[in-house]
Amino acid sequence: MIFLKSETEIQLMRESAQLVSRTLAEVARHIEPGVQTAKLDQVAEDYIKENNARPAFKGYGSRSNPFPGSLCISVNEQVVHGIPGKYELQEGDIVSIDCGVEKEGYYGDSAYTFVVGDCDEETMDLLRTTMQSLYLGIDQAVHGNTVGDISNAVQMHCEKKGFGVVRDLVGHGLGKSLHEDPSVPNFGRKGTGKRLRAGMTLAIEPMINLGTWKVKTLKDGWTIVTADGSRSAHYEHDIVVREGNAEILSTFEYIEEITKIRIDEIQLNG
């Protein structure tokens, strides 16, 4: 069932999305070679709790295998759902950090792929293309369009660059639950899928691979990696479907203030 949100509910979601955005920026202060991913997770959990909210990911899932972290931290070939631990970030790594919070009954959920130090141009092109596809998808999230219009915009932009668009994982609705209807794939045909209506709230999140689109799940039951070991990028925003233009509830501006990098504006040579 799809839930249309009132302006009061959207304001609460905006506050949760902004807290996620600030949390990601707080984590960004600590991203450097040698830092353990568990340290980043602790930074996020402390910050979320200090702001009177709850980490949405911690304990999520089945009773037999609940997710143990407050962040999903996925390095290099890890696509999503990486578990924070003793791994120390290395120069040239890329690391997708996905954060969710629940505050006053409503959820925020956003992700950003960071560069640790410097990395090669091929990887930077992957990151830039993935971020661009996110905003192209958001451009289609308007009243009267369909989910397929979002999906197609992401797919076409990334595949024309030769990147693999993950098919096993999708974006989603969100609100009082972390995952609501409808699902928002990153591939599809224009004019197909659920019709978008003003007041729908979605998490749009391209997951794009340097090589094949195929993925597999590790033995921990959570970490999803590319089938060929190639690198993967992931960006996510929370949005409200509106008439005319979608409204983005989350932001990358806090991150960019810390990193001094705008991935989508980096121009590559050669």
> What pLDDT digit, counting tens, does each position of 209-226 carry?
999 999 999 999 999 999
Give the angle subtended at the CA of 2 by the CAs of 48 and 110, to the nearest 5°.
30
Give pLDDT, residue 260: 86
Rounded-to-integer distance, Cα 261 and Cα 234, Å:
16
Give pLDDT, residue 269: 41
Are 171 and 184 a contacting pair, CB within 8 Å?
A: yes
What domains are there in the chain, each with its CATH number?
Answer: 7-265 (3.90.230.10)
Grade residue 228 by pLDDT with cuts at 50, 70 and 90.
Answer: very high
* Cα separation values, 22 from 15, 51, 92, 217, 263, Å: 11, 10, 24, 30, 18
Rounded-to-integer distance, Cα 23 and Cα 255, Å:
9
Give the angle subtended at the CA of 21 by the CAs of 20 and 23, to the nearest 5°.
65
What is the distance between the terminal CA atoms of the chain, rounded to a whole angstrom? 48
Query: Mean pLDDT over residues 244-259, rounded?
Result: 96
The proportion of the chain whose per-residue pLDDT surpasses 70, expressed as a percent, equals 98
Rounded-to-integer distance, Cα 166 and Cα 153, Å:
14
Grade residue 267 by pLDDT with cuts at 50, 70 and 90.
Answer: low
Which of 109-113, 246-250, 252-256, 259-263 has the least mean pLDDT?
259-263
Query: Mean pLDDT over residues 76-91, rounded?
Result: 98
Give pLDDT, residue 266: 64
Mean pLDDT of the chain: 96
Query: Mean pLDDT over residues 20-28, rounded?
Result: 98
Grade residue 157 by pLDDT with cuts at 50, 70 and 90.
Answer: very high
**Does 56 have pLDDT greater than 60?**
yes
- Cβ contacts of residue 157 below 8 Å, gap of 6+? 129, 132, 133, 136
